[in-house]
Amino acid sequence: MQKIASERDGWCLSENYINIKTHLKWKCGSYNHKWWATPYNIKNGHACKICGIQKMIKNR
């Protein structure tokens, strides 16, 4: 999970992996926001929602 997280500039805080559809705790590398998401979502480009919203507002 750390490889997937590092590709999105973050970390996986969960210790136990069950499957790609099970929610794990993540932390972004930019502002240390924490959230729950599946490895499937992270792998498919969905990372920190707060940073995503801030980026969208900044790019307007």
Q: Report the phi/psi class of residue 23: left, alpha or beta, with left for phi > 0 and alpha for psi in -120 to 50.
A: beta
- Would you state the pLDDT for residue 45? 87
User: What pTM was computed for the model?
Assistant: 0.82
pLDDT digits (tens, 9 = 90+) for 20-43: 999 999 999 889 999 999 999 999
- Would you state the pLDDT for residue 57? 93
Strand-pairing partners, residue 27, are 11, 34
Q: Where are the alpha helices (DSSP H) in the chain?
A: 2-7, 39-43, 49-58
